Structure formats: C-alpha cells, structure tokens
C-alpha cells in the first residue's frame, strides 16, 4: 500500500466551511476510482492550505491518477499546483 499526501495553498481567508464546499464538489470524482482504498480531505487553518490523504493499493495506481491533466485541474480549482509526497504504508 502507498499513502500519498497532496497539499496546495488555498486563497487567503478561506474558511473551513468554504474548504468543505470545495472538497464536497470534487468528492464524486474519486468514488470508485481504481486502486484508491480511501481518501481524506485536509485543511490547515493556520497556513490556509488544503489537500488530501490518499491510501492507494500501489504507487502505479496513484501515478495513473496524478497526471499532468489532474495537476492542472487541481491548480484551476484551488489556485495553485499540488505538491505530492508518497509514503510506503506497511
């Protein structure tokens, strides 16, 4: 298993309620996604950043989703390119 942490800054002043609305709008895109075991959305009110914690069956499953097109979609939706970190999940 692989855990991917995706982070991106949000627009200054974004509240947790606004972040929740943004995240709820994207949630259907991840339902039933091949290789995705679970996803949690993240919001840090101190740095006004958001992201996701994804548990994948494999790194190749994760990389099949994190394409240039996906990164562009994140940038357009949230205003900044995502930073992605991968971790082995024993």
Q: For residue 30, which phi and psi values (nearest 5 degrees)?
A: -100, -10
**Residue range 35-69, pLDDT digits in tens:** 999 999 999 999 999 999 999 999 999 999 999 99
**Residue range 17-31, pLDDT digits in tens:** 999 999 999 899 999
- What is the CB neighbour count within 10 angstroms for residue 9? 18
Residue 7 has pLDDT above 90, yes or no: yes
- Whole-model pTM? 0.91
Give, as one character, the DSSP assignment of residue 79.
S
Contacts of 76 (CB under 8 A, 6+ apart): none
19-22 — which CB contacts under 8 Å span 24+ positions?
19/43, 19/50, 22/50, 22/77, 22/78
pLDDT band at 77 (very low <50, low <70, confident <90, very high): confident
């Amino acid at each position: 298993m692989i855990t991917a942490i995706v982070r991106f800054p949000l627009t200054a002043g974004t509240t947790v309620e606004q972040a929740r609305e943004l995240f709820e709008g994207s949630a259907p895109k991840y339902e039933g996604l091949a290789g995705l075991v679970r996803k949690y959305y993240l919001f840090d009110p101190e740095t006004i950043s958001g992201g996701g914690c994804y548990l994948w069956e494999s790194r190749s499953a994760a990389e099949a989703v994190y394409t240039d097109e996906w990164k562009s979609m994140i940038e357009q939706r949230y205003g900044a390119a995502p930073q992605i970190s991968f971790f082995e999940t024993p």
